[in-house]
Amino acid sequence: MKPAFIPALAFSVLSVFTCTAQNYVTLFADCNYQGKSYYLEAGNYRGYQMKVDNDQLSSFQVPSGLKLTIYEHDNFSGKSKTFSSGIACLDNEWNDMASSLVVESTLPPGYNANDYVVFYNDCYAKGFSRTLGPGTYSGAQLGNMRENISSFSIFGNLQVKVYTSSDNASGYSYTFDQTQSCLSSSYNDKIRSVVIEYRTTPGNYGGGNYGGGNPGNNTDAVVSFYTECNYRGNSVHLGPGYYQGDKLGMFRYDISSIEVPSNLRVKVYINNEQLSGTSYTITENSSCLSSSMNDRIASIVVEERRFGGGGNYGGGNNPPGGNQQVIIYTDENYRGQSVAVLPGTYGNMSLLNFPDDAISSLQVPAGFRVVIYEHPNFGGKSYTITESKTKFYLSGWNDKTSSIAVYRDR
């Protein structure tokens, strides 16, 4: 067990997670992502199902977590080629040659972007910390956390395999499937490499708030949006959170029907991509939106119905609910550039791809604690926040944050 957190110590975080992962590939009829575009989720698509015309595919975008295989002939025959990232213009061998295709997920079963482990250099979840998602981490990748871990918190359906005699995750190991508040002398300050992986049997998730089911397969946790009436056309499925126009991508101004589970509601903003202006709240399925909303939705808020308040996110004082992540914003009232921040210590804002001295509001879920600092590396004055906050100018902290620490206390 080591001394408490030293404010002057800067520590980078290896992984920063986003709120929502794109679950579809985008096909384009022309090079450079131009021309007619179409979205396809995981599945097998023969020529008549591809949406893009036969032998008309020229470019495509493939997000992380998916791969695309294109075939020369219909019915998945002839030569083929697989891509795991976007292509701005297919070469002469494949341009306008695809006649069938397959979209597949590359993520493990039960994957959830909010599953992670927070490692601390002191017992009882104290000290500086690092947040890591599923994967293998060598001693070099652990950096200053190598032989410097005293406790960790598991959120989601994960287990942690630790190695005390190898920097390369080999040899003898021990597996933990529960949060460890203070490691025994056999492991405290002795862990040299780790493997974080999904548990084969979902159950009592170590320290998270997911209950007993698999959060990755909970269909009641998302609202489904469709580009055509009667729940047809391309679709995207969004969990609780805020979605400005840039995050809707090509679904912006292209939504015609919506499926809303009973435990969620959705607020849609008309012709405004910044969650402000004219809006409508939808609490049940709509097979064909009225002319006031059809193909006019530019930004969206999805929230759990148990979340209080009227949800006036465009100009009011309530942030979107339901996320188990802290979200920081450049503007007051939870607007402007934003980034989701998982528990960890961030010695400068560039570690989050967020501008320095720019926080004006932030969303803090229950059980989280945020400490913001005046200077980089946790220097200068500090301010502790335990609930969502806007109008930072009232406390003298508007646009004054240069480093930040996020803790999950329960």
Domain limits of the chain? 25-105, 116-213, 219-304, 326-408
For residue 83, what are its two tokens? 């891509």
**Residue 196 pairs with which residues in a beta bridge?**
135, 160
Separate counts of helices (H) and strands (E) for the chain: 2, 28
How far apart CA 396 and CA 375 sit, in angstroms, is: 15
pLDDT score at 176: 93
How many residues does this entry show for the chain? 410
How far apart CA 279 and CA 268 sit, in angstroms, is: 5
**Is the pLDDT assigned to residue 61 strictly greater than 60?**
yes
How far apart CA 73 and CA 70 sit, in angstroms, is: 9
Whether the Cβ atoms of residue 392 and residue 398 lie closer than 8 Å to each other: yes
Question: Which residues, 6 or more positions from 220, have their beta carbon under 8 angstroms from its beta carbon?
Answer: 261, 262, 263, 264
Provide the residue type at 22 as one letter. Answer: Q
pLDDT score at 129: 85
When comparing pLDDT for 35 and 317, which is higher?
35
Burial 99-121 (b: 16+ CB within 10 A, else e): bbbbbeeebeebbbbbbbbbbbb
pLDDT band for 21, please (50, 70, 90 cuts). Answer: very low
- Do the domains spanning 25-105 and 326-408 agree at the CATH topology level? yes
Whose CA is closest to 65, among 111, 101, 19?
111
Q: At the top level of CATH, which class does the domain 25-105 belong to?
A: mainly beta
Among positive and negative, which fits the CA dihedral 270, 272, 273, 279? negative
Whether the Cβ atoms of residue 208 and residue 156 lie closer than 8 Å to each other: yes
How far apart CA 114 and CA 362 sit, in angstroms, is: 18
Cα separation values, 326 from 273, 369, 377, Å = 22, 9, 20
**Is the pLDDT assigned to residue 291 strictly greater than 50?**
yes
pLDDT score at 302: 85
pLDDT score at 375: 93
H/E element, 118: strand 116-122
- pLDDT above 70 covers a percentage of the chain that reads 81
Whose CA is closest to 356, among 405, 406, 401, 395?
401
pLDDT score at 259: 92
pLDDT score at 83: 92
For residue 183, what are its two tokens? 């490691």
- DSSP sequence for 33-70: TEEEEEEE-SEEE-GGGSSSPTT---EEE--TTEEEEE
For residue 368, what are its two tokens? 């989280």
Whether the Cβ atoms of residue 96 and residue 58 lie closer than 8 Å to each other: yes
Q: What is the CA radius of gyration of the chain?
A: 23
Query: Mean pLDDT across the chain, nearest whole number?
Result: 79
- The pLDDT tens digits of the residues spanning 349-404 come to 988 878 899 999 898 888 889 999 999 988 999 999 998 888 887 788 999 999 99
SS3 23: coil
Mean pLDDT of 294-316: 63
Q: Does domain 116-213 have CATH number 2.60.20.10?
A: yes
**Residue 287 pairs with which residues in a beta bridge?**
none
Provide the residue type at 178 as one letter. Answer: Q
For residue 374, what are its two tokens? 């005046």
Q: Which CATH architecture has domain 326-408?
A: Sandwich (2.60)
Q: Which CATH architecture has domain 219-304?
A: Sandwich (2.60)
